[in-house]
Structures are given as C-alpha cells and as structure tokens.
A and B are shown apart, each in its own frame.
Chain A
Amino acid sequence: MPSLTRYGYRNAISGFFEFPTENARRILPASLEPVELHHGTSIFSMTAFDFTESEVGAYGEVVMSVIVVPLVKAGERLPKSAFYPYLVATTTQAARAHAIERWHLPHWMEDVDIRFEPAGRKLGARVAADGAPVAELTICDYSWDPVSHLYQSFMRDGDKSYLAQITMEGEQSEHEEETGRLRLHDHPFNKDLVLSEVYDVPFREIWMRDGAQTFQPLVQLETA
C-alpha cells in the first residue's frame, strides 16, 4: 500500500446539520463520543464528492457521518474536526471495492446516482439509489481561500476500530450563513436517521473545489 493515497476532486460540498444526540448515539459505536453543538444536539454531516482522479478513476461519492470527538495529542497537528462515516455510497463498483478494502468504510452496496447541479453561487448534489431519490443537498458559497486542513475519520469493521488522518487541500468556502438546504427522503439509505429530527438548514456549510483529499495509512486503534 502506498504511504499516502490521493484523491483529486473538482468539488466537495459538506453540510453540517443539527440532530438529536440520542440519534447520534444509536449510530455511533460506544467508543466514540458525539460532539454536541448544544446540550442534546449533535451534528450530522453529509458530504458529496466529485472525484476526478484516483487509483480507481473518476467517480462520485456521498458520505453520511456523525461528527465525533477527535483524537488530539500534544505536539501533533490539530484536526479541524473528526468524522464517523456510518454510510458511504459511490457511483462505481471499483471505488466501492477500493474503499472497503483499504479504509474499512461501511458502504451502500449498489451504485448510486449523484448529480452535481451548479446554479450561480450554489452547488447542489442530488443522490438517488435503486431508482429512488435519497437526498438533495445544496451548499452556497461565501468567500474563497486556499486551505490545507487535517481531518480525522474513525472506522469500525467488525470488532476492529481504525483511524485515518486525512488532509483536505484546495480552495475553500466555509460559512454559517444558513443558506444551504437538505432534503432527506424516506428511503432505506436513510434508515439510521429520524428524518423529521434532522434540521434541514445547515448551521455550517463547506464547499471545497479543485483540490485533493490525501489519506495517511490507516491506523488500527486499541479501543474495541
């Protein structure tokens, strides 16, 4: 396995939404703690990637996550935030096989359809699976700055736990203007969420473009 795994993207949009901590805890393994925005309110995140280059070619990916407490150590670079992706879906079988094998990410096991729909200063991602709509995410821009941010991703596969350190580079727009939107459909894809309790306006929106997502080698954690 190479020391670093790079995925080039044209666009990556993320919305961060309030949802009940009870729902977050039902999704998370016991070893992970949800970050609470307010008492009783945790953070659900949906990210849609438009990858243009990778070991498995170009593909689209949608990641449903809960934001969790990062693993922070003195003397080490601080992560911007930490994710627990509880469901990942891709537009190609090759991308899915790659991510399951290398990153132990839990996947929707069929190809999904992801359509990116730019509209002025907005970018939408329309996701469908099995011919039925799953979600529509719209993110708006604010101001653009080049960034290089460290993120953490926690994975669970059977009784093993893993951590990936991920660097996101590219042009970033990040804001809390509450201008984006999320529509989640009643679909088996969304079975882990109580749809009526996920707020449909993101409190934070991140749009990254023309950059790369770089994974450091996966680390197995001692926590069961």
Chain B
Amino acid sequence: MEALHKKDARKSVFSDYDYSNFYYGAGEDPVNLLGPFCEWYEEAKPNGYYLYSEPLSSAPATHVRVRNGKTGALHDLLNLASYNYLGISYRDEVKQAAVEAVTRYGLGASGSPILSGTFDIHEELAREVAAFKGKDAAILFPTGYSANVGFISSIMRSGDTIFCDQYSHASIVDGAILAKSKTVFFRHNNPLDLERKLGGVRGKKLVVVEGVYSMDGDVCVLPDVVDVAKRHGARVLIDEAHSTFLFGANGRGVAEHFGLDKEVDFHLGTFSKSLGGQGGFVCGTRDLVDYVNAFGRSRFFSCNLAPPIVAGLRAGLRIVEQEPELRAKLWSNVAYLRRRFAEEGIDIGKSTSQVMPVLVNNDAKVFAVAEKIQDRGLFLQPVTYPAVPKHRSRLRISVSAAHSEEDLEQAVQIIVGVLREEGICRP
C-alpha cells in the first residue's frame, strides 16, 4: 500500500482506494479479506470515514446531538441528514402511541408474521395503509429492504427477466439475485434504453423503478416507463420509499402524482422515510397479498415489526391524513432551498424532490468538505464512489417539513461558505 504513504495522505487514501478494492482476497480462507481492508481503513477512518455512523444521542429532529467520530466530543448540530421528511417520528402523539403499545404488548412481536407474530395492530396498520394507498390490501415487512427482497423474489423465478434502473437500490438488486431471474439494467431514467432492452425478450417480465431515486433526488419518468413496459407486456413495480406520503394530491406517491395509480401493477413503500419509523409494505389486490404472504421469504422468516413501532406508525399515518399542510410545508421548504442553492451557484444535479445532493464532484476532497461543514454546525454525510459514480461525490441533504426557513438559511450559509473556501463553487 505504498500509495498511502504519499505526502497528501487524505488525497491518496481516497483517490487510489475505496471499498471496491477490498471485495476480493487471495487464498482459500475468507479471513484473508480482512487484512488489506483493515490496513486501509485504519488510515481512511481518521481522514473522513469517521463521519459515517456517528452516534446520535437525541431524536432525529431538526437539531441533533452527535458524538464526533474522531474526537468523541458531543456537538449540537443542525440536522439535514435524517429522513423524517414530515418530522413525524418525534411528535408527542406518536411517542405516546408507542408508549401505550409497550405497556400493552411489551417490546417485540416474538414471532414470525405467519405464526405467532401477527397482532391486532399489524392487521389494522395493513388495512389503514391499503386504504391510504387506495388499494384492496397491503402486506407489511420488517424493513424496506426486506420488502423489495421479499416481494421481488416471491413473484419472479429462474427463467423470468427483471429490468432494473441502473441506479436501483441495493434491495431491488438483491431481490433480483434471490429470484434467480435474469437481470437486465437499463440506463438511469431512460425509457429508450428500457425499450431497447425489452425488445425480443420472451417470458415473464418485471420492470422495477423508484419513485424518487435516493442518491440523486430525481423523480422517475413514470409515464414513459409505464408506456414502454405495457407495450412489451411487462409488469411494473414502483418502489416509493422516498415518495410515499409526500407526492400526489393525497400523498400516495409518484404514481398518484402522474395519475398512474392503476397502471402501475405493484406499489411498494416504506415507513422509515416520511414517517421516520421502520418497516416496508406492498399494496395491491387481495390475491397478490395472499400470494406474497405465502412466498415472501424475507418476511416469512423474520420476526414481525415490533408492536410499539406499529402503534407509532399508525399514529404517524393519522397525522399524514389529518395534516396535509405538512406536505405543503415540505414542498415550500424544498422550493426555498432550491432557490437559495441556485442563487448561490450550488449544483444539486437533477433533484426535484426533498432529497438534494450537493455535488462536490471531487472524490478526494469530499471528506474534507464534509468535515468542515460538520465543524461549523451542520450534520450531513458525504457520499462517494462506489455508492455514486466516480467524480460524483456529494453531500446528501434530506429536507423536512419540520425545518424552519431560518434552519435552511443557516444550512445554506454553512454549505456555501465551505464550498467557496474549497473552490467547489464560484465566489
């Protein structure tokens, strides 16, 4: 690892090596993988990787208390890193519902959903989610990851073909692997490439897209995708992890936003983003839910969602239905931040949602930028290759309805100040 001993350690650590270098190791012992990685990580961590997994000791609200991963000191920071898009998870009525559920049910479900782990409140939440989405039925999963893995592998088989956007979430990719289907990746948000790849493919076909893509914050070009898929006899699954409860007249998601609720075959969402809770779900016909209940292994072989979480989610869902002004406030915040970033010359790529990448576009510098930003009071994480393409390093912002305009302006000032100092944006 001679490259690590160059004069500019931070630059060489991040420009010459990244996680992708350590995926393989020599020999016949799996433990051989550890040595090269740990040797690199020992140097990478103090140079920036400490910014990942810094522990919070407060609710993921607009301001958080964070223990610095390098110094161990506690800092109170403005938070634009947590999902919690509607600021719901720490509302009193949500916490109260969870407390009451703990009192009534205890901590966990103590069983698989298909055996002893389904409680009355699981059934109630599933009914309420289905009603909210305007579908016949819904099925709950312990996480969003589990929902994609379990759903895709429950309906697709060896010999079938799954067409995924190249920027698909890992849970979609892993679901396709578990399904043992042939997997074809089309260019990001590119229906023409999807059409090219669907051409001539026979057998069962599933096209998988996301409502909002989690690293770029851009919205799926769903009308074109659905048109192409239908012309080729493919079914469409939309993962609305980052768009359920936010987009559309009723908050059902991007499919509703485009008036394509009925044209999209399978609707998947999560409770961890907009509601700030945990879990995932799939909505559709009763037949679909019954089948996934029988064949969704990631759910089948996991403990069911913990009752206090379920109770909190039900309270959160009620807030979403009763306070549409939260969505209006979120979109007002998004508009404010977009306008201010444009005025200051900050590049947020193709984002049109509450997920905004502040593009640093320098893999060697992004950790130094993130470190400075945190030192000045703003909690944000860097995202770099291989999670995003080379030279597309960024700081990922999650805007919340709970942020005030003052919060957002403070964030803009910190970000602009650091990016100008680092020569990332114009003075």
Q: Which residues of A contact B (CB under 8 A)?
A: 18, 38-41, 69-75, 77-78, 80, 142-143, 145, 148-149, 174-178, 201, 203-204
Judge whether A176 and B391 touch: CB under 8 Å.
yes
Judge whether A69 and B176 touch: CB under 8 Å.
no
Judge whether B27 and A69 touch: CB under 8 Å.
no
Collect the chain B residues with CB atoms within 8 Å of residue A74's CB.
25, 32, 35-36, 39
> Does residue B17 face the partner (Cβ distance < 8 Å to A)?
yes
Q: With the chains together, A72 CA to B35 CA distance in Å?
A: 10
Collect the chain B residues with CB atoms within 8 Å of residue A148's CB.
3
Q: Which residues of B contact A (CB under 8 A)?
A: 1-3, 15-17, 21-22, 24-27, 32, 35-36, 39, 164, 166, 173, 176-177, 182-185, 187, 389-392
Q: With the chains together, A78 CA to B21 CA distance in Å?
A: 7
Q: With A73-B27, A77-B2, A175-B390 known to touch, is A39 a contact of B39 (CB < 8 Å)?
A: no
A-B contact pairs, 14 of them (CB 8 A): A39-B173, A40-B182, A69-B24, A70-B24, A72-B25, A74-B32, A74-B35, A74-B36, A75-B35, A78-B36, A145-B15, A174-B390, A176-B390, A176-B392
Closest residue of A by beta carbon distance from B168: A38
Collect the chain A residues with CB atoms within 8 Å of residue B182's CB.
40
Q: Could you say which of B26, B39, B164, B390 contacts A71, with CB atoms under 8 Å apart? A: B26
Q: With the chains together, A149 CA to B12 CA distance in Å?
A: 12
Q: Could you say which of A39, A75, A80, A145 contacts B183, with CB atoms under 8 Å apart? A: A39
Q: Contacts A74-B32, A77-B1, A78-B1 given; 10 further ones with Cβ under 8 A?
A: A18-B185, A41-B183, A41-B185, A70-B24, A71-B26, A73-B27, A75-B35, A78-B22, A176-B391, A177-B389
Q: Could you say which of A73, A80, A178, A201 contacts B26, with CB atoms under 8 Å apart? A: A73
Which 7 A-B pairs give the minimum distances between C-beta atoms?
Answer: A74-B35, A176-B389, A73-B26, A176-B390, A39-B177, A69-B24, A40-B183
Q: With A70-B24, A71-B26, A72-B24 known to touch, is A175 a contact of B391 (CB < 8 Å)?
A: yes
Q: With the chains together, A203 CA to B24 CA distance in Å?
A: 21
Q: From residue A148, how far is it (CB to closest CB) to chain B in Å?
A: 8
Tell me whether chain B's interface is mostly helix, strand or loop, or mixed: mixed
Q: From residue A33, how far is it (CB to closest CB) to chain B in Å?
A: 8
Closest residue of B by beta carbon distance from A78: B21
Closest residue of A by beta carbon distance from B33: A72
Q: From residue A52, how far is it (CB to closest CB) to chain B in Å?
A: 26
Tell me whether chain A's interface is mostly helix, strand or loop, or mixed: loop
Collect the chain A residues with CB atoms within 8 Å of residue B392's CB.
176
Q: From residue A3, how far is it (CB to closest CB) to chain B in Å?
A: 18
Q: With the chains together, A151 CA to B184 CA distance in Å?
A: 29
Judge whether B185 and A78 touch: CB under 8 Å.
no
Collect the chain B residues with CB atoms within 8 Å of residue A75's CB.
35
Q: From residue A130, how far is it (CB to closest CB) to chain B in Å?
A: 31
Q: From residue A198, how far is it (CB to closest CB) to chain B in Å?
A: 13
Closest residue of A by beta carbon distance from B362: A143
Q: With the chains together, A70 CA to B21 CA distance in Å?
A: 9
Q: With the chains together, A178 CA to B190 CA distance in Å?
A: 13
Closest residue of B by beta carbon distance from A40: B183
Collect the chain A residues with CB atoms within 8 Å of residue B164's CB.
38
Q: With the chains together, A39 CA to B247 CA distance in Å?
A: 31
Judge whether B183 and A38 touch: CB under 8 Å.
yes
Q: From residue B220, how far is it (CB to closest CB) to chain A in Å?
A: 19
Q: From residue A44, how far is it (CB to closest CB) to chain B in Å?
A: 15
Closest residue of A by beta carbon distance from B176: A39
Q: From residue B422, how far is it (CB to closest CB) to chain A in Å?
A: 16
Q: With the chains together, A201 CA to B39 CA distance in Å?
A: 35
Q: With the chains together, A38 CA to B164 CA distance in Å?
A: 10
Collect the chain A residues with CB atoms within 8 Å of residue B1's CB.
77-78
Collect the chain B residues with CB atoms within 8 Å of residue A145's CB.
15
Judge whether A38 and B26 touch: CB under 8 Å.
no
Collect the chain B residues with CB atoms within 8 Å of residue A204's CB.
390
